[in-house]
Each structure stands twice: as structure tokens, then as C-alpha cells.
Structure 1
Amino acid sequence: MARKLHRMRRAALAIGVAFAAAATISACSEKNAYVAPPPPRIDVALPVKQTVTRYLYATGNTVAVNDIALVARVQGFLQEIDYKDGDEVKAGTRLFVIEQEPYQLALEQAQAGKAAADASVKQSQADYQRQVDLLKQRVVAQSTVDQSAAARDADLAKQKQSEADVKQAELNLSYTEVKAPFDGLVTARQVSVGELVGTGGATTLANIVQLDPIYVNFNVSEQDVLRIRAAMAKRGLKPQDLKKVPVEIGLQTEEGYPHKGLLDYASPTVTASTGTLAARGVFDNKGRPLLPGFFARVRVPLGAEPDMLLVPDRAIGSDQSGRYLLIAGKDDVVEQRTVQIGQLVGELRVITAGINPDDRVVVSGLLTAVPGQKIEPQMKTLTAAATDGVVQ
């Protein structure tokens, strides 16, 4: 009887252990069940809507308006150098003097020749008049009058020749003084006092460069030419109003485009081999901040465009299909939207096509936001960008 009771107790204990184990397993199973993580919190913002000045961007180089060589146009020994290397001079300032005595003597000789020619003309004219009077009195023959007229005409020709000789001599004498043809800076002299110049051709004495105003040459593409023409037409400007179009430039070490000028020239044709058109701007250069040969960033305003949409430039991605933005769409599911971009305004980029004003654009957490997955949008407000001094 006791043995039977013991067996019953053992069986009850086994059943209890089995139930306890089953309960433990069930509790562990409920505790380890997979629970989906909440959607990630992602910052989104509506595009900024503002008026943006559209620009044409190019690169160019500064060029002197005038840059010429000062040459000796007559032969002789250099007598004077009347400036210091690098001087800023006014138009008409005497810079070099070539020995003048030979040319002064040549002038005096030409003047003496002219005086003799004048006397001969006076004599032959009087003789011709006498012969005419005698012919009327039938004292001389017609042939005598004709000979007198021929002598007079020859003397008149010599008189004209002598006048030309005097002018040539005066011109040669003037060439002995080399003067500045315009306001500018004179470079270092290339000759020395006492040196023979003008032999075998023109001798370069120095160069003079005009720095104010200054040109900036640049090229624009055929597409940009069409954009400029469209912008001019929109503003009511005609081709003859070309010089009213503003141009702005900035140097490599400068922020933005601090130098303001006007479009001065545009080639009448597009170069077929390059598909570009040569253009030029002119800029005041007081104080000479611009020197010939500088590299310059160029922009030409094409006019203000209202209600342009802008997003942070960092929010724009790219793949094989082009540029795109991530949008928090219906039910907060991320969409990838292909867009067309425009110029950079501060830290914002103009979006010309692909989004609407009420689209919620993902502006941070781009690696976390996956197209097709749901997010928890956190609305942010973008600040409008300043439109002055922007770069592309």
C-alpha cells in the first residue's frame, strides 16, 4: 500500500513539473515575439518660395582697353628719357627725345626751298601776265605766251612740292619726341640714353597700358545667347540697347561679384567650331583693383523670376536617372522624385521642375529615409536665401 502511494506521488510530481515547464516555455515564447520598430523621425520642410534673379555664369579674363608699344619712328641717338619706369602719365606727356638737330636742319632746308619756290612762282606769274598783255598788243606770238604759262605751272608744281617737303620735315621733327597717346602706365624702358634707335625699322622704346576703364572678355554658349536675347526682349531692350545690360565679376580671392560694369560688345556671330559667342564687359577701374590678365568669374543678370521654389542643396541626391529629392508622400511614405535644378542661391538650390509648393521635402536623415518606407515627419521651416552675392 505504501509503495503504491509512493508511485502516485511521483506521478503527480512529474505532472506538476511538466505543467511548470510548459508554462515557462509559453512565457518565454510570448516575451521574445518580434515587434516592428517605430518609423524613424525625419526632418521635412516645404520648399521656400521667393523671387530669384536668374544669372548667366561664365569665366573670363581682364584685358587692357589700350596696350601699345611706343616706338622710334625716326632714326637717331636717344637724347632724353623723361619719365621713371612705371610712371602714370597723361595723354601728350613727352616720354623720349631723339636727337633733333638733324631734323631741325632738314626742316630749315625745306623751308628755304619753299621760299625759293614762292619767289619763282611770283616771278613766273608776273612774266606770264606781261606776255598776255603783249599778246593783246600783238607784240609777241602766242607761242611765247604758252612758254611763259608752262614755266609758271612748273614753278607752281615746285611750290607744292616744297610745301610737302616742309610738312614732311615738320613731321619728322615731331617724331623725335615720343609722347603718350593716352592716359596710362608706362612700362620699364627698353633702351638707354645715347643708344641709336630707329635703324632698320621701328625700335620699341617701352609700352604704355591704359588700366581705367578695363575690359573683361568671356564666351557664352549658343543656349546662353538665346537666353540673353529672351531676357532682353522680356525687359523691352533692343539689340542697340546691348550696352544697358549689366555685368558683374569677382576675382579668385573675392566673395561674390563686387565689380559692376556693363556689357560692351558681343560678337555678331556664333563660332561654329565651338558653339560659343565672344562677349566683353567694360568696368571702371579706379584705384586699379583689376589688372590685365586676371582670371574672373562673370555673371550676367537675366532678370527676376517670381515664385521660384528652393530647397537646401544638401537635400538633393543623384543617381543614373539624374538629380532627385526625397518626398514625404501619402501616409508619410517616402517617394523619390526626379527634379530639374537651377542656380544656387546661398545654401538653397532653385528647383525648376519636379516638385510642388506643398511637397514635404526630406531635408535631413537622407540615409535613414528609404523610398517606399514610412517615416514620422518632423516639420521644419526653411529660411529664405539672400539673393545678393550668391555663387553658382
Structure 2
Amino acid sequence: MKRILAVVTACLLLASCSDAEAPAEPPAIPVRTVTIASRPIPNVVELPGRVEPVREAEVRARVTGIVQARLYKEGTDVRAGQPLFRIDPRELRANYAQTEAALQRARATASNARAVVARFRPLVAENAISGQEYDAAVAASREAEANVAQIRAQLEAASLQLGYTTVRAPISGRAGRALVTEGALVSQPEGTLLTKIEQISPVYVNFAQAASEVLALRRSVAAGEIELDENDRVEVRLTFSDGTEYPIPGYVDFYALSVDEETGTVELRAEFPNPMGLLLPGEFVRARIFAGEVQEGISVPQRAVNLTEQGGSVFVVDAEGRAATRSVALGAMVDGFWIVKSGLKVGDVVIVSNLQKVRPGVPVQPLSAQTARKTAVRKKSAPVSQER
């Protein structure tokens, strides 16, 4: 009996010690939250794009000769018709003079032939000469006039060739570096490339969208899930490779009606003003295409999302008042909000503060005192949720 009492007493002591050492539940962490609600949000499609000039002209030699001088500064803006190069004109000038002399001779011959016809006309009426002689004089006059016209055309061609010795800009734009130097022989048959001129204000940005995405967009528009701009304009915004955003939006001005067989994509093009020359031809940029609005869209503040290599995640408040991790599929970021494609539903409570302290399963205490102020701030930036 004494042994049994000793065992019972020991068990009671161990139980009391175990109860005393059990850790207490940590206090709830105060957090701010947003309650997810659906709102119309932009339908944003992100695509890589490449900048191209709206017009590009290759300046080539139209006569054969030796380059005497470059008449422009490389990398500067030039106007249409501005001289760019001078090719040695002496040979063509001599050819022009030779053709001009031949024209003078042909005109003299034609003038004499006309005089003969004028003298023969009254004589043939008086039968002083035969009609055959008169007809021959008329034919000779017409031949002389045709010869004048032919040589006049040759003189005009020689004048054009002489004018081509001064190479002028075909369009206004920014001239590139010279591809030939003084003393270089350029060829008209080969069309020697001298330089290039690009118009970079405005500029085009070309990008391609997967045909499947185009089909999905058309279906969403047809179903009324996405509403396009009333003016049928699709706005595009650009982001440079360093993450900065180009300040001036552009608009899609070309949409291919066929699918590329090799890539399975549809070609798009947008036009952007470029008054400061920040967009350079050949530059790769990131384009965000605002193709209407999603009527029942969901988004969360940027600060609520934790980005990892696997994607994005947020902390939500579960039914027991504890933090739980929720994986989300993210779209584009618009005005400080991540567009959520999947992973959240209307009514979910997302934690947006004290994230460095929050862990899965930890009790949290949403703050309600900030509701009015945070709601007002969200309304100013087109919110999609209410914070509390």
C-alpha cells in the first residue's frame, strides 16, 4: 500500500510540474488588413518590345565617283534636302557640257530644216519643185526636231547626274555615322551605302502576343467580362531595362490579322511620342498593354505580397484569427497594386503590416481604428479592397 501511494504521489508531482512548464500562447500580433472586394481593374498584358524608328532611309550613292567631303556632323539631326556628301563632279560636269553643246548643234540643224520647209512651201504650190522634194524637206525638219528633243532629254539626265554629286538627305531625322570617308570610291551600280537617317520622334514599339492570349481576350470581350475603351484606343506604357517607366503613354496603331506560322504570335505595334529622344531605335523595353477593364477583378497592395522564385504569396487571417499563407498568381502591377489572377476570393482578409513578425499559425489582431483613413486613401488611387 505504501508503495502504491508513493507512485501516485510521484505521478501527481510530475503532472503539476508539466502543467507549470507548458508555454503560454503568444499574444496576438496587431496587424492592418484589407478585405478583398471585386472592382473594375485594368486588364494589363505585359510583353517585351523593341523600339524602331517611324521612318528609316538608307542614303546611297546614285553616281560613280570619289567622295570629296562629308558635309554633316555624325549623330545630329538633319532636315530633308540637306547636303550630306559631295562626290567629285568634274567628270559629270564635262559630260553635261558636251551634251549641252550637242543640243546647241541639234537646235541649229532643226532651225535650218524649218527654214528649208518654209522656202519650199510656196515653190511647191507654183510647181517650181516636186512634191517629193517638199516631203523630204518636211521629213528632215521633223527628224531634226526629234533629235533636239532627244538631246534635251540627255541633257536633263546629265543635269540630274551632276546634281547627284551632292548627296542630300531624303528625309528629316537623325543621321548616323558615315560609312565612307573622303577619297573613297562609290559606285552607282552597286548603290554604295553612305549613311542612314532615322526619324525617332515619334517612334514605334513592336511586340508580339501569343495567339492563345488574343483568343482569350476576344472571348472575354464577347462575354462582357472585359470592356474596351469607348474610343477603341489601347493604351501602352513602357518600362526601361533599369526598371524606370517612360513618362509618356503610347497607343496601339497596328494589329496584324494573321498569326505567324513559326512563332504562333500576332504582331502588334504602338506609337510613342519621343520629344526628348529617350527611346532609341533597337532598344528593348517592357510594354504594358492596357486592353480594357476586367469588371470583377481582384488586386492587393504591393506591400502585402511576398515574392519568391516560386511566385507570390500573402498572409490571410483564417477563421480562428490566425495567420495563414496563401499562394497567389500575380498579373501586372498598376499604381502600387498587384493584380491577382488566382489564389484569393472576395471576402478574404489579407495582412498588409507587421509582415516581418507574422508567421503561419500565429494569432493576429486586426486593427480597426485605421479603417476610415485607409479607405479614403485607397479610393484616391482606384482601390480594389477596403483596409481595416
TM-score with structure 1 setting the length: 0.73
Whichever residue aligns with residue 211 of structure 1, its letter is I
Q: Hey, what does 1:282 align to over in structure 2?
A: 271
Which residue in the other structure is 1:10 paired with? none
Partner of 2:288: 299
| Percent identical residues | 26
CA-to-aligned-CA distance 1:37-79 (integer Å, 9 cap, x gap): 8699586641155543222211112223344443332223333
Q: Give 1:379's aligned residue.
A: 366
- Deviation track 1:144-203 (CA, whole Å, cap 9, x = no partner) reads 343233223322221221121111111011011112222333334344434443376333
In structure 2, the CA distance between the partners of 1:317 and 1:209, relative to structure 1 (3 Å rule), is closer
Structure 2 unmatched ranges of 5 or more:
384-388
- Pick the aligned partner of 1:180 from 169, 173, 176: 169
Secondary structure (helix, strand or coil) at the match of 2:249 reads: strand
Task: Report if the CA contact (8 A) 1:332-1:376 is conserved.
Answer: yes
- What is the letter of the counterpart of residue 43 of structure 2? R
Is residue 66 of structure 2 the alignment partner of residue 77 of structure 1? yes
| Residue of structure 2 equivalent to 1:46 | 35
Paired residues for 1:7-22 under 5 Å: 21=6
What is residue 96 of structure 2 aligned with on the other side? 107
AA partner of residue 360 (structure 2)? T
1:202 aligns with 2:194: no
Q: Within 1, Cα distance between the matches of 2:181 and 2:329? A: 64
Equivalent pair of 2:324/2:360 in contact (CA under 8 Å): no
Deviation sequence 1:219-262 (CA, Å, 0-9, x none): 12224445676499833446xxxxx5432212112423424223
| Rounded Cα–Cα distance in structure 2 between residues aligned with 1:223 and 1:296 | 23
Whether the 8 Å contact between 1:54 and 1:304 is mirrored in structure 2 is yes
Shift of the 325–265 alpha-carbon distance from structure 1 to 2, 3 Å rule, reads same
Quick one: which of 225, 228, 237 aligns to 1:234?
A: 228
Shift in alpha-carbon separation, 1:203–1:29, aligned structure 2, 3 A: closer
1:7 counterpart residue number? none
Separation in 1 of the partners of 2:25 and 2:260?
61
Query: Cα offset for 1:106?
Result: 2.0
Measure, in 1, the Cα distance between the counterparts of 2:174 and 2:15.
92
Is the 8 Å Cα contact of residues 317 and 325 (structure 1) preserved in structure 2? no
**Partners of 2:106 and 2:59 in 1: how far apart?**
37
Q: Which amino acid aligns with 2:12?
A: A
- Residue 127 to residue 226, structure 1, CA distance change in 2 (3 Å): farther
Q: Which has more radius of gyration? A: 1
2:386 corresponds in structure 1 to none
After TM superposition, the structure 1 stretch with the greater mean CA deviation from structure 2, 151-160 or 192-201, is 192-201
Query: 154, 160, 163: which is aligned to 1:171?
Result: 160
- The answer to whether the Cα contact below 8 Å between 2:227 and 2:292 also exists between their aligned partners in 1 is no
Contact 2:206 2:270 in 1 (8 A): yes
Is the contact between residue 86 and residue 188 of structure 1 (CA under 8 Å) also seen in structure 2? yes
Could you tell me whether the CA contact under 8 Å between 1:250 and 1:258 is conserved in 2? no
Deviations 1:305-330 (A, max 9, x none): 45632235766899x9x999886566
Asked if 1:27 corresponds to 2:12, the answer is: yes
Deviation at 1:278, TM superposition (A): 1.9
Structure 2 vs 1, CA of residues 20 and 203 (structure 1 numbering), >3 Å: closer, same or farther?
closer
Residues in 1 aligned to 2:322 and 2:189: alpha-carbon distance in whole angstroms: 85
Letter in 2 for 1:220: Q
The AA in structure 2 aligned to 1:234 is L
Q: Deviations over 1:245-302 (max 9, x none)?
A: 4322121124234242233433332212212122222323233222222111112222
Residue matched to 1:368? 360
**CA distance in 2: counterparts of 1:317 and 1:67, whole angstroms:** 42
The SS at the match of 2:261 is coil
Q: Is 1:127 aligned to 2:116, yes or no?
A: yes
Partner Cα distance (2:23, 2:182) in 1: 95
2:11, 2:179 → 1: CA distance?
104
Aligned-CA RMSD value = 4.3
Q: Is the 8 A contact 1:323 1:338 kept in 2?
A: yes
- Consecutive unaligned residues of structure 1, counting only runs of 5 or more, are 1-14, 239-243, 370-374
Give the secondary structure class of the aligned counterpart of 1:46: strand
Q: Does residue 308 in structure 1 map to residue 302 in structure 2?
A: no
From the superposition, tell whether residues 159 and 340 of structure 1 become closer, same or farther in structure 2 (CA, over 3 Å): same
Counterpart in the other structure of 2:84: 95
For residues 187 and 279 of structure 2, the distance between their equivalents in structure 1, rounded to whole angstroms, comes to 34
State the Cα distance separating 1:343 from its structure 2 match. 3.1
C-alpha deviations, 1:84-113, integer Å up to 9, x for none?
Answer: 443433222222222223222222222222
> What does residue 246 of structure 1 align with?
235
Query: Residue 333 of structure 2: SS of its match in structure 1?
Result: strand
In 2, Cα distance between the equivalents of 1:336 and 1:187? 55
Would you say 1:211 and 2:196 are equivalent positions? Answer: no
Q: What is the distance in 2 between the residues matched to 1:227 and 1:157?
A: 69
Q: Give the letter for the 1:379 counterpart.
A: P
